Amino acid sequence: MSVAKTAPHLFLSTAHACSYLPGQTASTLFIDPRFPVTPDLFGDFNRRGFRRSGDLIYRPHCQNCQACVPVRIPTEPFIASRAQRRTFDRNRDLRVSAAPARFDAEHFLLFLRYQNARHPGGTMANPDPPTYLRFLVGRHCDTAFYEFRLDGALAAIAVVDHLTDGLSAVYTFYDPSLSERGLGTHAILWQIQEARRRGLPFVYLGYWVKDSEKMAYKTRFRPLEAYRNGRWSELSET
């Protein structure tokens, strides 16, 4: 990890309901939010299994569970499956452009539609604009909102952090009426392609939880690397 003049304090949250496994409790290790994290230091934490939610840089740290496994896609050896190739071909009519990581009413309305359709009653089902931005945008990194447009209409947004060794997939939301297009999968395939174009070796996907059905899609990207015991290695299990 990059050397800082002072090391950041780490704090452990109290136990709370697990977001991934029903009936389980979880604890979160997080960096002191007051610490001035540079983009390089943020990348170092990312390579060590931390993620961010807004400005908060965190990692699950549960006493009796290690189910949350950080995963990333090595971009050079990645080979799309037949189904993934079909998804990519289905979406060749989309046009992608980068937008600044700031409030945009069109983005926000799409986010609301997505949350209400895909996660009704969830913690982000009815956010106000400041809450929405605090969730997606952080001050420690270079973030872009990549717009995917169909005939000019906004179809999806991929929120992506730019790191020195790759792209980090923060969050993707899309028009629920276009669910048959597989826009979530397409956004990851596009990020792999974009990382390759930039000469970057990895796309970081956050945490994979073996027994969480909503995390299963991550294992469809092969090869996939997992961070365990302080090192990255290929994930063999599914």
Mean pLDDT, residues 191-207 taken together = 98
- If one counts every other C-beta atom within 10 angstroms of the C-beta of residue 103, the result is 13
Residue 96 has pLDDT above 80, yes or no: yes
- CA gap 172, 115 in Å, rounded: 11
- State the average pLDDT over residues 112-132: 88
Instruction: Identify the H or E element spanning 190.
Output: helix 183-197
| Bridge partners for 204 per DSSP | 72, 168
Could you tell me the two tokens for 189?
A: 């395939």
Rounded CA-CA distance 68/65 in Å is 8
Cβ pair 187, 173 in contact under 8 A = no
Cα separation, 74 vs 71, whole angstroms: 10
pLDDT reported for residue 3: 44
Token look-up 């990851």 returns 188
pTM of the model: 0.94
Mean pLDDT, residues 46-75: 95
pLDDT at 1 over 60: no
At residue 63, the pLDDT reads 86
Ranges 51-60, 101-110, 115-124: which has the least confidence: 115-124
Listing DSSP states for 192-216 in one string gives HHHHHHTT--EEEEEEEETT-GGGG
What angle, rounded to 10 degrees, do the helices at 129-136 and 105-118 form? 80
Residue 143 has pLDDT above 90, yes or no: yes
Q: What's residue 5's pLDDT?
A: 55
Mean pLDDT across the chain: 94
pLDDT surpassing 50 at residue 146: yes
Q: At 103, is the pLDDT very low, low, confident or very high (cuts 50, 70, 90)?
A: very high
pLDDT at 19: 86
Does the pLDDT value for residue 232 go beyond 50?
A: yes
Q: Is the pLDDT of residue 2 over 90?
A: no
| Residues facing 81 on adjacent strands | none
Strand spans (E) along 112-210: 142-150, 153-163, 166-174, 202-209
pLDDT digit string (tens) for 152-182?
999 999 999 999 999 999 999 999 999 999 9
pLDDT of residue 237 exceeding 80: no
Distance between CA atoms of 8 and 58, rounded to whole angstroms? Answer: 12
Confidence (pLDDT) at 121: 75
Closest CA to 20 of 235, 217, 159, 209: 209
Report whether pLDDT(238) > 70.
Answer: no
Q: Region 35-43: what's the mean pLDDT?
A: 94
Give the pLDDT confidence score for residue 31 in this predicted structure. 96
Backbone angles phi, psi at 153, to 5 degrees: -85, 140
